[in-house]
Each structure stands twice: as structure tokens, then as C-alpha cells.
Amino acid sequence: MREMRDRILAEGWRKAEGQLNFSTKRVELAGLPDQKLEGYFTIESTAGGRTEGFLSSSDGRMQCLTPFFSGGAEQIEYRFDTVGMQEGETRSGRFFIVSNCGEYELLWTVSVLEREGESTLGRIGNLSQFANLARTSWREAVKFFYTEDMRRLCQKQGEELFALYRGFGANAGNEDNVERFLVAVNRKQPIAFEPVRRQIAVEDVRGHISEEIQILKNGWGPVRLSVKARGDFLSVERSWIGEDDFLGNLCRVPVFLEEGRMHAGRNFGEVTFSSLYGSFTVEITAVKRAPGTGEKDGKGRALRAADVRLVRLYEQLRMKRMDPEEWRTKARECVEEISHLIPQSPIPRLFMAQILMTEDKMEEAGWILNRVQLKSRQEDPAVFCYYLYLTTLYNREEAYGQKVQQKVRELFEQNPGEWRIAWLLLFLAPELDRSPGRKWAFLERRFSEGCTSPLLYLEAVQLMNSRPVLLNKVGGIEKRVLMYGARNGILGRALAGHAADLIGREKYYDPVLFRILKLAWEKKPDVEVLQAICTLLIKGGKTGPAWYPWYYRGVKKELRIARLYEHYLMSVDLEREGKIPRQALLYFAFQSNLDYEHAAWLYAGVERHRDEDTDLYLTYRPQIDRFVEDQLSKGRISRDLAWLYRRVLKPRELPKEALDQLASLLCSVEVKAPDKAKGRIAVVYARLKGEKIYAMQGGKACVDLYSRMDQVFWEDESGGRELLNGKASMTPLFADPGEEFEKEILGLAEDVTGLALAVTDPADPQVCPENEEASMTVVAEPFLEKGFGRKLRIALLRYFEEQDRPRDLSLLLGRLNPEDIEPGDRTEIVRYLALQGMYEKAYEWQKQLDPDKQDPRVLLRLCSRLLDQGRYREEPEMTRLCYASVVHRKYDACILRQLTERYEGSVREMEALKAAAEGFGIDTYPLCERIMEQLLYTGQDVTERMDLLRQYVAEGGRSGLEGAFLHRCAYSGVMEGQPVHRYMIHDMLRMEKNGEPLTDLCRISVLQYFAKNRDAMDAAAEEAVKRMGSRLLEKGIQLPALREFARLIPGAEFLQDKTFVVYYGAPEEGICLHWRLLPEKGGGAEYVSARMPHLYEGIYAMSFILFPGESLQYFITAEENPGLRKESGILKAVESDPAEEGRYGMLCAVSARQLAGGWQGLELLNRYLYMDFCADRLFFPLKED
């Protein structure tokens, strides 16, 4: 700007005509956080000559990399720094351009975009777009899932969903976790598989054949089905099915059947398909026909079924569960069915004969027996023996009976494996009937030979019921016999007791023996059987809720069995709160080697019922106290331990270590997932970084949970995870953290982070007196998740402000860094810092923020205090903050003084600042000087700003700027025809008198002013005008104003007869004047052209001598464009003063009188001629010798 002042004083300056054009109406930038965004725009000038200027930005983040420009066009580069800004934030401001073509503003807006990952489908900015990517390209989606872009995407969705992502995203590359994540966030349905047929039957398998299982798929996603065949005769092609195996939504799976691995008849197998969400089974039934079977096979099955029914009916009859009449009716139906299936066989006739005999219809039975035609006895000896047996029922003679017995015995010896003949011998041989021992030995031999006939088992059970002593051991045969009797409920009480005694002596547990005893107990609950059951279970080490009823019964019956009470307690269901029998309580009052979980259940039961037996409770109390202290020191927790801790412990009496240990257990939750016996539990906390891993035992685990937003996962051996929230049972082991016990611990313990987290709201952390201490504890946690930590810190600050607790507020503020607070809340933090007097920290924070979003009162307080301390005066950011405060009408003397000294903006803004500063009595000289310089530089109108000139002059301003300012005023008056202020003229006269530099344009302006205002001239002004006029004439500058001072300025009298054509333009233009004279009576000559002389910077003038009645018609053009007229008009002779002396005056007077038609014109003409004659004769030029 000072260069412009010097240029003005050198008279090489004129106002730049034209304006600046910008390549954009608004600069708009968009980028990611923590980036430096760069761009450019172009400035072009429509003005000729030299165009120049400089730029500044209203925001320190926006840097002008091209702060100066010059020439007709310039590319302006800039850079914006987004460090510290948050996604979605927008910052606006302006570029302020000061040029010799004026002042301009170019607005800019910067938007911080959300970080979005790139994929083949474009940007991934939300979960729906990610789900679409997964549906289109699963592998790419899996890869994207484990990137930082996905992590940021989920973090924006809130703490709960982010915790969900952190859990599923823990094991990089696991595809199952990506699938489960999409299902958990409701972006897809679980993929489902369904077989077209769940049962497949294959008849008559021959050789090696294959069958096809068709599977339908419903939904989209990764396909991974495991295939497992069960059955020796079954095999599958491969153990896994993938996406490529499906054609559309159908997959065909071949299953192979091998005849060589099948037995005759029906073979059962299954193929199980397992996926991420469950499994399904396809059952396969394959039939292998025995050699020689064909069409008769179906008849054979029906015949065998009828035979089985007939045997079952006989069993029911012998067990006395069916009366004879009902038996005969149903047996006759079976016999008729058999007769229909094998009409030529003698067997149904023999069955019918026996039925008739039971009805005492001996004659009809004998008639049937006499007509039965039997095959050879060797071909079917059992049927023949049956026939012989029936004949003994018809013929009761003893001799005949002995004969038949002998015959049957012979046939049995020939066929020892035929159980039917053996069964008949039981009724025919008298020695077996008379001797139970021989009969049992006979049956035992049959069983040892592999006989499994239920009829023989029935006979054996009934024999033992009559003679229990026959049972002297419990071997394999005895087990089968007893099992048959127990299963059918026909074991007698004596036999059951005898068997229980034998079983109780066994060394090892046997599930078959247990089942026998169990069935016997269910038939008739005897103490002997119960004793044997408990003894057997203890020998097998059986504990658990399934065995609890037996031990409980044993305890109630006060059975004397070693370790009965331990097994009883170790079998209780720890989930229920049952009353413990007194016998067990007395037993454990003096000895206990239980594990801690069952011991806790025992002691909790004693504690719950202590009022019912005070003496017993007092016996237990020392044990309970020692147990509770020991378990607490080991950090153990369970449902019953939690109850004991609350009931037994007194927090105020605990040492520090125990108190902290107890505090760490208060947020324990029991997670139960019975179908997840193996694996481990991973807990991801919504408000804490990282995760915790817990071992899974028996389908349950005790974990720490602090809020409903914490996510619990089950993890398998491969790293696949399944969300348990909403599926597994989750039971808090302690009461609500707001209860008295928990509150007392919170106030006493030091390490209470977990309990404090449970007290605070995870979604909207509001601080109140009840959770204030917990909130302070949480906010100090180093592993706090960033998002929640930011919310909690701002909530604490607001709480302390509301409670008027400046000390706590200052302590918390002192620990804060910008990254500890959400970008959107940092403006509020600056307010707190300023109110607490932490001005330097507040200033450093505010430098990175948008001042327009800050409370102007805060800016006022902040800037005023720092400036008053003399801090940051030289920093441009301080000036920006001060101006932001002033814009909102909040300022004081410190702020105005800073702006007065350093602010550089538009003239309008600086003038407003000047007015405000003057109201506070602040010296505005520096600002006044900057305004004047900028007015000159930008070519703005200065004629109405004489107050600036007055102040500048009054305060001893530099003459250089004053002269340049006056020159600009003169330019407005002379070149632009603006009104001229009187003070400007007086100041020019003062400078001229003092010998200070003054431009010719100022002199011209003074002469023009006094030419119009002759009454304003005094003697000093006349002297100054005389000097100025003479100076202009010396330079050859002849203008109409000089003619007005012809009597005052030497040499100006020669201009009295001149009429001037004056043109104001550019100094570099070639200007041509075209004119012609127009006489009063009309007509006129042709136009005459000539180049107009250039008198001064842009001032062109030509003079003509015109007499009254004459007119000069003219127009002006530029040499480079003669077709364009810049100006035109008609001039007439200037009216001369009648008193004016000189021949031109006399001629003008003659012409005027003559035109008026008066006689005075002739008289004046005679006088003119006389004077002209005298001059020619009396005055001669002197000749040199």
C-alpha cells in the first residue's frame, strides 16, 4: 500500500477501471479428518494496465499459499488443515481480497466427510451397504470386515453396536463371525437348509448303489455344511458342502449303500448335515433280502408279527395281567390270522386245539389233533413235539405221558438249540417240576447256550420268585433274568430284596444292575433296594442332579452307607434353594471335604435357615466365617458365595485387600448355556477397551458385566463366536449396585471401577449426587472406550458447574486434552476453561475451533484477560478471536485496542471498529492510517471521508500519505466530477504554503474550486492560486480554470479569448477531436480532425477562438477505434465581461451589439478600428544593431 502512495505522489497513478472476476462464486472443499486439503481458484481482471492485490483468510486453518497477485490473471492456491475436526463438521469463512480494483470477499466452506471404506461396489458408509457387499462378494466383505474402515463405521453406530463388532471382529479372517454379525444387526436372515425328504427307504439293495439327498437352501450367505454318515453300510462322497455345490438353491448329495456291509432285513442309518445354525438328519432305511426270499417275504413278516403277538399274549396271561377269557379271544384272532397266512400248515390247527382245551372242549380239540397231518419229525421237530405235548393234555394216561416225555427228550437231545422243545420239557419232565434247582440249572444252561426266548425268561423269573435262594450271584445270565423281571414288573419282593443284597456286595458300578434296582424300587420302594441303589451309585462315583433323588431318599431313611452324605450334597442342584435334612447338617457340622461350590451351597442353606435351629447355626458359624474369608481371598464367586458375602461380610471391618477383592466381584453375572458345554466365554464391554475371556465349565461361567450393552460371546475352538445375549441365561449374583451393601463398598474400596461402571448409564451418562463418586472413578479409568469417556467427561463438567463446585471443575479441566472430548463439545470446554481463569489453555483449545460457534461473551472474557496480561498480542489468531467477539457486539477497551493496532479487513469493517474504539477513548491513529492507505489502494471514494484526513493531519500524519490522499480527492473532483470538500482545499493550500509536495492534479482542483467559489478566496488563497497557476502554465497545462484568473496569474490573460474542449480519459489513449464551426444562420463547413494534446495524466484539451454567434460542433474518438464516439457536443463562445479590455473583448462586444441590432455596435467597431490603426503606426519592434 505504501508503494501505491509513492506511485500517487509520483503522479504515475490513476484509478483502475474495471473489476476482478473469480473462477468460482464460492470455494467448496471436502475431505477426511486429519488431512490437509489443497485447491486453487483464478482471479482475472477486466481492467487494463497493472492489476495487483493481496489475500487473507478469516480462519487460521485456511492458509493462502498465494498471498499476493499481480497481472491480468493469477492462480490462487490455498490449503485447509482438518486436524482436530470431526466427521460431519463444517467450517465456513471468507477470503478477503484487497486490490487496486477494489475490495472483494470470496466465501469458502469446508466439509469434513465421514471416513468410508472403498470396495468394488463403491464407498461403504453404512451397514446396509456392507450387507449389500456381502451379498455380492462375500470374500471381499470378509476382508473388509476386518479393516479399520469397518471399525470406524461401526463405532459411529454407538457403543452397543461397536461392542458387537469388536466381539465378532476379534479373530481376523473368520467367515462365520462375519455371518453371525450380519444376523445380529438384522442385516440378513440366518441361512437355512431343508432336505426335500427326511426319510429315504431303499428296498432290496444289491451290490453297490447310490441314492440322492436333495437339500434346499433358503437365504444368502456363506455355505458350509458338514456331512457325516452313520451306519456301516453308508458312505458319502465328501465331508463338506460349499456354495459351489448348489445349483441355485438346490444341492444334490449322493449317498452310497454297500450290500456287503448289510445284514438280512432292515438296516438303519442316517446322514447328518451340520451348519452354523444347527443340524438336520436324513434317515435311511435299506432292506437286504435273504437268499430265496421274494414275493413271500411280506407274508413271512406278517407271520412273524403274528407269532410275536401270540407270545406277548401268553406272557400277559402268565403274568396275570390278562384273564383267560380275554386271552382266548385275542389268541384265537392271532391263530386265525396265522391260519390265513399258512393255510396248509398244521401249526394254526395245533394252536386252535390248545385254545379249545383251555375251554374244556376236549372232543373238538381231539378231533383237530386226529386230523392234523404232520411232516417228518426230523423236518420240523419242534412242531412235532408241540403236537405230542397237546396229545398228553388230551390223553391223561400216565404211561402215555411217559412215552411222550421220552420221545420229546430224544428229539431235544437231537436238537439242543431248539428252545421251544426245551420250553415243552419244562411241562413234560416231572423231575424238573419237582426240583427247582434242577429246573434252574436246566434254564441256566439254555441261557448260556444263547437262548433269549422271553418264555424261558418268564419261567426263570417265576422260578426265582418262588425260590429266591436260587439266585446266588449276579452274573450275565442272572442280570438278563432280573432285567426281564424288573422290566415287566414281576420281581417278587423277596427276590428283589435278595437281589439287592447281592448287588450291594458288588465291587463296581454296573448300569444294568442300577436299572434293575431302579425298576424294582419303582414297583415297590423297599429300604433294601434303596440301600443297594445308593451303595451302587457311590461305588460308581455318581454325583449330580440326576442322582440326587436316590441320595436324598437314602439320607431321609438314615441309611448307614459310607460317604452317603458327601454324595448327597455333591448331587444337589445348586440352582435351587432346598432345605437340607438335619441328619446331613449334623454330619457336615464336624467334617467337610466338599468342593467350594457345594460347600457354599451348604453354608448358604444353613445361613438361610439359621433362625430355625440356632444351636446348629452357632456350630456352623466359625466354619462359615473361615470359608467365606478363604474364598474371598481366592477371588471365587458363585450364586451361593455371593449370597454369603452379602450376609456374612461387614465391609467396614474388611482389610483393604479383601475390600478391593469384594468390590471386583460385585458385578459378577452367572451365564448359563447348557448346549455350550465346551469352549469359552468372551465378554466385550461397551465402555472399556479390549475384552475378557472366561473358561466355560458345565455349560456355565461367572463373568463380569457392567451394563446391558456389554456383549457376551461363546467361542469355539476354531475362533468362531456366537452371541449369547438374549439366548443364554444371565443372572446377576449381587443386587443392584444402588443397594446399601454395594454403595457402602463403593464408598470404602479403592479399586471399584467395575462397580462404578455399573452405576453409570452406558447410553446417556448423566451425573447426579448418587453416582458422582462412581463417575469420577470411571472417568479416571485408563482403558475407558474413547466415545463413552468423552460423554462422561462433559457430563461431569456440566454437573460440577450446576453444583457450583469450581475446585472440582478446575481439577478435571486441568487433566483434559482436546482428544478427551468430542469435537462438538470442545467449544463448551473453552467456556469452562475461561470461567475458571485457565485462559492460556482455553486459548490453545479455541485456536483450533470455529469462533463463530463460541459464545461471544466467552471470547470477550478470554481475549480481554489475555491481552490485559500482554499475552499473544502478536499472534494473528488472537486478532481473529477479538474480531469474532466484536462482530457479536461484545468488546471492551483491550479488544478494541488490539484490533485498532492489528486488524486488517475491509474499509467498512475498520471504520466500524474505529467508531467503537473512539467511544472508548482509544487512540485510533494506526487504524486511521490503515484505512486511508486501503482507500487509496482500492480506489474507493474518499471525498466523503474528510474526518479521516482531519484526524490524520491533527495527529501529525506523514505528508506522503496526506498528499496521496489529497491527490485521490482531487482525482474524484477533477476526473470524476465529484463535489470537492472545502477542508480538502484548505489542506492543499496549507501544504502548498509549507512547501510540501503537492501534485498538479491538486493544483488543478484548487483552481477549479476557486473558479466556482470566488467569494471563498482571501488574500492567502489568491497568493496560492497565483503560484499554482503559474506552475501549471510553466508546464504547459492550459485549462479553462486558468482563464478565470487572467488578472491574477501572469500569462493567463492570453487564455481569455479561448474556448476549450476538455476530455478526461486514460493517459495512454490516442484521442482525436473532430470539429466544425456553425455560424448563427446555419450551415457549416466540413469536420476538421486533429489529435488532442495530452496535458496531464488523462486530461486532454484544445482551445478555439469563438465570437458571439459562432458555435463549435465536435465529437471525440480514439485512434484505435475511430468508429466509436467517446464524447460529442456543441460549444458556443464564452460570454466576455463588458469591462474586459483588449481587442478580443472589443470585438466580442461589437459582435454582441450587432447581433442585437442596436446602433451601439458601429460606435464600438469604430473605436476598435482606431485602436488597431494607432497600434500599427505608433508601436514597432526594436531592431538589434
What tens digit of pLDDT does each residue of 359-372 get? 888 888 889 888 88
pLDDT value for 907: 92
User: pLDDT of 408-422, one tens digit each?
Assistant: 888 888 888 888 988
Pairing of strands 68-70, 680-684: unpaired
- Rounded CA gap, 193 and 186, in Å? 19
- Rounded CA gap, 1111 and 1079, in Å? 6
Together in a domain, 1041 and 955: yes
In the sheet that holds 1094-1096, the strands lie side by side as: 1059-1064, 1099-1104, 1094-1096
Phi-psi region for residue 1165, left (φ > 0), alpha (ψ -120 to 50) or beta? Answer: alpha
- Residue 209 in 3-state DSSP? strand
User: pLDDT of 864-902, one tens digit each?
Assistant: 999 999 999 999 999 999 999 999 999 999 999 999 999
Together in a domain, 983 and 910: yes
Contact yes or no for 702/636 (Cβ under 8 A): no
Furthest-apart CA atoms within the chain: distance in Å? 214
In a domain, 684, yes or no: no
1109 pLDDT above the threshold of 80: no
Together in a domain, 1040 and 914: yes
Together in a domain, 809 and 948: no
Average pLDDT over the chain, rounded to an integer: 87
Residue percentage of the chain with pLDDT more than 70: 93
In a domain, 543, yes or no: no
Pairing of strands 199-202, 278-288: parallel
Nearest Cα neighbor of 894 from 918, 850, 860 is 860
Together in a domain, 1 and 82: no
In a domain, 493, yes or no: yes
For every residue of 1143-1165, DSSP letters joined together read: HHHHHHHHHHHHHHT-THHHHHH
In a domain, 748, yes or no: yes
Confidence at 1015, pLDDT banded by 50, 70, 90:
confident
| Mean pLDDT, residues 627-640 | 91
Residue 1067's CATH number: 2.60.40
Sequence-distant (≥ 6) Cβ neighbours of residue 812 within 8 angstroms? 779, 793, 796, 797, 800
Together in a domain, 233 and 277: yes
For every residue of 1023-1066, DSSP letters joined together read: HHHHHHHHHHHHTT---HHHHTTTTTSTTGGGGTT-EEEEEE--
747 pLDDT above the threshold of 70: yes
Measured CA to CA in angstroms, residue 549 lies from 534, 539, 573 at distances of: 10, 17, 11
Confidence at 461, pLDDT banded by 50, 70, 90:
very high
pLDDT value for 1143: 65
Q: Alpha helix (H) ranges present in 609-723?
A: 614-633, 639-648, 656-665
- Rounded CA gap, 427 and 162, in Å? 83
| Mean pLDDT, residues 982-990 | 90
Confidence at 295, pLDDT banded by 50, 70, 90:
very low
Task: Please state, as a whole number, how many other Cβ atoms lie within 10 Å of the Cβ of residue 1170.
Answer: 10
5 pLDDT above the threshold of 60: no
Together in a domain, 1131 and 1046: no
Confidence at 196, pLDDT banded by 50, 70, 90:
very high
End-of-domain residue from the set 1056, 1075, 1100: 1056
pLDDT value for 14: 61
- Residue 212 in 3-state DSSP? strand
- Residue 279 in 3-state DSSP? strand
1185 pLDDT above the threshold of 70: no
| Mean pLDDT, residues 730-741 | 79
Nearest Cα neighbor of 1001 from 988, 983, 1014 is 988
In a domain, 321, yes or no: no
In a domain, 1128, yes or no: yes
Together in a domain, 1148 and 1065: yes
Residue 273's CATH number: 2.60.40.3170
Between 1030 and 755, the more confident residue is 1030
In a domain, 241, yes or no: yes
Grid cell 403277538 in the structure block, residue: 309
- Rounded CA gap, 795 and 479, in Å? 76
Sequence-distant (≥ 6) Cβ neighbours of residue 1059 within 8 angstroms? 1103, 1104, 1105, 1106, 1112, 1131, 1132, 1133, 1134
The answer to whether the Cα torsion of 455, 457, 460, 464 is positive or negative is negative
**Of 25-39, 44-58, 1095-1109, which one has max mean pLDDT?**
25-39
Q: Alpha helix (H) ranges present in 670-785?
A: 740-748, 753-759, 772-779
Task: Please state, as a whole number, how many other Cβ atoms lie within 10 Å of the Cβ of residue 303.
Answer: 18
In a domain, 694, yes or no: no
Residue 21's CATH number: 2.60.40.10
User: pLDDT of 914-966, one tens digit each?
Assistant: 999 999 999 999 999 999 888 888 888 888 888 998 988 888 888 788 888 88
Residue percentage of the chain with pLDDT more than 90: 41
| Mean pLDDT, residues 84-101 | 89
Contact yes or no for 382/376 (Cβ under 8 A): no
In this structure, what C-alpha cell is assigned to residue 41? Answer: 481458484
Grid cell 468390590 in the structure block, residue: 663
1059 pLDDT above the threshold of 80: yes
End-of-domain residue from the set 800, 817, 841: 841
463 pLDDT above the threshold of 80: yes
Together in a domain, 921 and 1048: yes
| Mean pLDDT, residues 30-49 | 87
End-of-domain residue from the set 1056, 1075, 1103: 1056
How wide is the angle at C-alpha 177 spanned by C-alphas 175 and 179, nearest 5°?
75
| Mean pLDDT, residues 561-584 | 88
In this structure, what C-alpha cell is assigned to residue 256? Answer: 452310497
| Mean pLDDT, residues 1072-1077 | 90
Together in a domain, 1079 and 1019: no
In this structure, what C-alpha cell is assigned to residue 265? Answer: 432285513
For every residue of 775-824, DSSP letters joined together read: HHHHHT-TTB-HHHHHHHHHHHHHHHHHTT-HHHHHHHHHT--GGGS-GG
Sequence-distant (≥ 6) Cβ neighbours of residue 1136 within 8 angstroms? 1056, 1144, 1145, 1148, 1149
Domain that holds residue 453: 435-525
Together in a domain, 44 and 61: yes
pLDDT value for 7: 57
In this structure, which amino acid lies at residue 779?
V
Together in a domain, 96 and 240: no
Contact yes or no for 837/831 (Cβ under 8 A): no
- Our count of domains for the chain comes to 7
